[in-house]
Amino acid sequence: MEILSSPFGQFQLSRFPKRKREQLRAWDAADEYILQQIDEESLLRPTPGKTLILNDQFGALAVSMHQFQPEVISDSWLAHAGIQANLADNQLPQEQVPLHSSLDYPAEKFDLVLLKVPKSLAMLEDQLIRLRPLLHTNSRVIAGGMAKAIHTSTLKLFEKYLGPTTTSLARKKARLIFPQIGEGLAPIDSPYPSRYMLEGTRYQIINHAGVFSRDSLDIGSRFFLRHLPSSDQYKNIIDLGCGNGVIGLMAAQNNPGAHIDFVDESFMAVASAKENFEAAFGAERSATFTATDCLSGLAKNRYDLVLNNPPFHQQNAVGDFIALQMFRESHQALRKDGELWVIGNRHLGYHLRLKKLFGNCDTVASNKKFIILKARKQ
């Protein structure tokens, strides 16, 4: 746990979930820059007005500004949990910071909006479209991110949806974006969610803006779908890191007697999976849809099959730690003789991790790029 020193006080902040020997901070230079800019412009004095924060990762902005009761929007269940945990660690009341998902925007107007620029341009576009009707002519919007992640295409979106846009000088490799709010920002039609037909099926796949591989089936999932198992022994199946739910949807088709649990830390992913499953099966099949951290909150020693295409990153941190957490928690969730099926790039060496954890690991299929592995709980 490290100390963030901001113009609004000093706060203990941790990444979430907390890990031993954590090497990464719970904030970046863009968070610091935004907080400094607010103070330099005296934007919260003498009267703070209503404040909205988008994409705060672990609470650097929300915790620092808790006294002004900002509302927070994020697509990340982990961000919500991290903000609440950091408020608690600083003995601050959680009710001072109302949290919203990326599909549950408040309806009122805001005087100050702080936005951490997301990695996905589609996500940014969706957020700016949803933000438009929440602004008035005198609303102040400050967006921030690391300079390497702010491109001409980023600025064009701000100009298209909010108004003329300028940027700050870089500080500690971070940069701020200042859109000037145009007159009469009425709601406009959004291109999201997007849709495509799942090849070889009758299913139309719905994808909210924050979902990976939004416009077509990615090549890893395409390979995985060709080798999904089918057996009467699979009564309870988890699509872990479900994204739009294509893997779980086809697992449901292959295993008509199974109940599917769709799990992801993205609210938009879980919503997409739910819409896709219900569109495919209607009231004929039931399933469970959960936004959480890996398998947190799901039953242990219950499931027959976990299907998993692990991500390479959590928030902006890249590494295999999230995959390893998924493997460990899958082992806990599976009943005896239950199976974990994993697809990954060949070079990642997942087979070594799975063999160490499960005591076994078999190759189901492979090609030049991907390998599908199966581990059985003994």
Residue 314 has pLDDT above 70, yes or no: no
% of the chain exceeding 90 in pLDDT: 89
Q: Given this model, what pLDDT does residue 318 score?
A: 46
Question: What are 241-269's pLDDT values in tens digits?
Answer: 999 999 999 999 999 999 999 999 999 99
Average pLDDT, rounded, for the chain: 94
Check: CB of residue 147 under 8 Å from CB of residue 87. Answer: no
- Average pLDDT score over residue span 160-168: 96
Question: Does 63 score more than 70 pLDDT?
Answer: yes
What is the average per-residue pLDDT within 26-45? 96
Decide if pLDDT at 371 tops 60.
yes
Check pLDDT > 60 for residue 319.
no
Higher pLDDT, 318 or 151: 151
The pTM score is: 0.95
By mean pLDDT, which of 96-110, 224-238, 317-331, 359-373 is the weakest?
A: 317-331
What is the distance between the alpha carbons of residues 113 and 230, in angstroms, rounded to a whole number?
49
> CB atoms < 10 A from the CB of 360, how many?
12
- Residue-range domains of the chain with CATH: 2-179 (3.40.50.150), 194-376 (3.40.50.150)
Average pLDDT over residues 177-205: 92
Measured CA angle at 223 (ends 218, 225), to 5 deg: 95
Tens of pLDDT, residue by residue over 15-30, are 999 888 888 899 999 9
pLDDT greater than 80 at residue 312: no
Q: Phi and psi (nearest 5°) for 92?
A: -110, 140
